Amino acid sequence: MAVIRALQGRLLAALLGIVIAVATCAVMAQQNLPSMGEPADTALSPNEERDLGAQFMRQIRAQLPLIRDVQLTEYIESLGTRLVSAVGRTDIQSFTFFIIDDPQINAFAIPGGYVGINSGLINVMEQEEQLASVVAHEVAHVTQRHHARAFATGNRATLSTAAAVLAAIIIGQASPQAGQAALAAGLAASQQSAINFTRSNEVEADRIGIEILANAQYDPRAMAESFAILRRKNSLNTSAGQLEYLRTHPLDNNRIAEAADRASAKPIRRRVASIDYALFRARLAVLSSNDSGQLKRQYLAKHAKAISISTSYALALIYQRANQPDEARRYLDELDTLVSAHPMAELLRADIASLSNERSDDAVLAALSELYPDRYSIVEKRMDQLIRDRRLTKAVSVAKTYLRDSTRTNPLAWRQLASVQERLDDQAASHESLARYFEAIDELERATSQLELALREVPSQSQDKLRLEASLKDLRNKATRLR
């Protein structure tokens, strides 16, 4: 993949010798876990971790096949936020959760609070608790700063050394099939395994992950269940040895037994099938499918055996995407008998209505937005409709209300707002909104350029100019630190 070539060319080739030395030291290090704030801070400070993670995330956004659907992103962000909130610490940094459109069973964490989950892993986790256990494990890797600990061995690591080791780790985690091949060219098998987290890191991530699950009101037994699923899928895998996830997260009998023992000491949570998870997996299956005809046949066969939330929603979405509104509406009406006024169902209803050039009821979406103020997917749909109706001032108001009131703002709201402001010929505001969007995704040079353009559009000596100049100064300082 492109990200492999880019990272390999710039980091691995030039710093391979340093990677080998540091990685080998990591394997030889004693297994006792260091206390927080010891050598890890010397090797890679929390600020450096955040900056380094942002740099890698920019490359991932540009070069990996990310799932960019707003509704799917909302779900995984909501799940991740629930888990991060359950960590039980006040010093936790912000996290970003994202889905990669890749059938390989894999997930990984990047310093700075970035957690990626492949669509292939989601597809094999049948219950929300099981997916949550994998995400909780990755969250624990970040909160316990396992990357920084690996760099701290020998107390010789610098930021450039950390970048080289991180390149190897992330290449192996983000795209192991190509990453392992790249590493194999210069590293022996023992040196490759040295780059992976040590067993003590894995056990700690399991232990902390189980605590997170319990605190988030999930059944902690799901951790051992997810391990069992991965082992079963690995035994059925006939392509290239181990599953990708197991290459960077070694799994043995002891880990499964230890996870089960720890979970048994926690209160057992009664599980209720998650409607959100059923709709999320169905939508992901449809949007990530390379053969819509085959997928439709599969869901029709499932539907013939038993009507369910996932089959009704999936078939409604499949027919909507095939521009067959009558069929889509039939399955959506069926879904209404199973679940009442769910946001994902109502958004699909609006999409189906647009196929027939029907105007959706803005009052319905407005009411949903009141109930779910953090769901940008509803705001996005409302703004799209308002723009089509040429109610641009109202669209600006909807966006600003969301940006003001939401606790988990989607950066795309800034970009959509900028587009409407440009149509209203409010150039200064449009450039400033674009700057906020680029800043939120760590594209600081582009954010700086947009603020410079905004400054040209405001009167000299105005309050707007002073405000924009202060923002520009902060952005430039931040961009300098990240270089």
> What is residue 41's predicted lDDT score, i.e. its pLDDT?
56
Q: Which residue has the tokens 């194999």?
A: 184
CA-based nearest residue to 344, from 286, 294, 296, 389: 286
HEC secondary structure over the chain: CHHHHHHHHHHHHHHHHHHHHHHHHHHHCCCCCCCCCCHHHHHCCHHHHHHHHHHHHHHHHHHCCECCCHHHHHHHHHHHHHHHHCCCCCCCCCCEEEEECCCCCCEEEECCCEEEEEHHHHHHCCCHHHHHHHHHHHHHHHHCCHHHHHHHHHHCCCHHHHHHHHHHHHHHHHCHHHHHHHHHCCCCHHHHHHHCCCHHHHHHHHHHHHHHHHHCCCCCCHHHHHHHHHHHHHHHCCCCCCCHHHHHCCCCHHHHHHHHHHHHCCCCCCCCCCHHHHHHHHHHHHHCCCCHHHHHHHHHHHHHHCCCHHHHHHHHHHHHHCCCHHHHHHHHHHHHCCCCCCHHHHHHHHHHHHHCCCCCCHHHHHHHHHHCCCCHHHHHHHHHHHHHCCCHHHHHHHHHHHHHHCCCCCCHHHHHHHHHHHHCCCHHHHHHHHHHHHHHCCCHHHHHHHHHHHHHCCCCCCHHHHHHHHHHHHHHHHHHHHC
Q: What is the pLDDT of residues 236-261, one digit of tens each?
A: 775 656 677 777 777 778 888 888 88
Q: Which of 170-184, 280-294, 295-309 has the lowest mean pLDDT?
A: 170-184
Q: What is the CB neighbour count within 10 angstroms for residue 80?
A: 22
Confidence at 453, pLDDT banded by 50, 70, 90: very high
Residues in the chain: 483
- Answer whether 3's CB lies under 8 Å from 9's CB: no
> What is residue 52's predicted lDDT score, i.e. its pLDDT?
79
Q: What is the pLDDT of residues 395-436, one digit of tens each?
A: 999 999 999 999 889 999 999 999 999 999 999 999 999 999
- Answer whether 378's CB lies under 8 Å from 372's CB: yes
> What is residue 422's predicted lDDT score, i.e. its pLDDT?
97
> What is residue 251's predicted lDDT score, i.e. its pLDDT?
78
Q: What is the pLDDT of residues 162-218, one digit of tens each?
A: 444 455 545 554 555 544 443 333 333 333 344 445 677 788 888 999 999 999 999
- Answer whether 64's CB lies under 8 Å from 249's CB: no
Confidence at 28, pLDDT banded by 50, 70, 90: very low
> What is residue 242's predicted lDDT score, i.e. its pLDDT?
65
Residue 454 pLDDT > 90 = yes
* Higher local confidence (pLDDT), 368 or 59: 368
Q: Which residue has the tokens 């690995």?
A: 234
Residue 265 pLDDT > 90 = no
> What is residue 40's predicted lDDT score, i.e. its pLDDT?
53
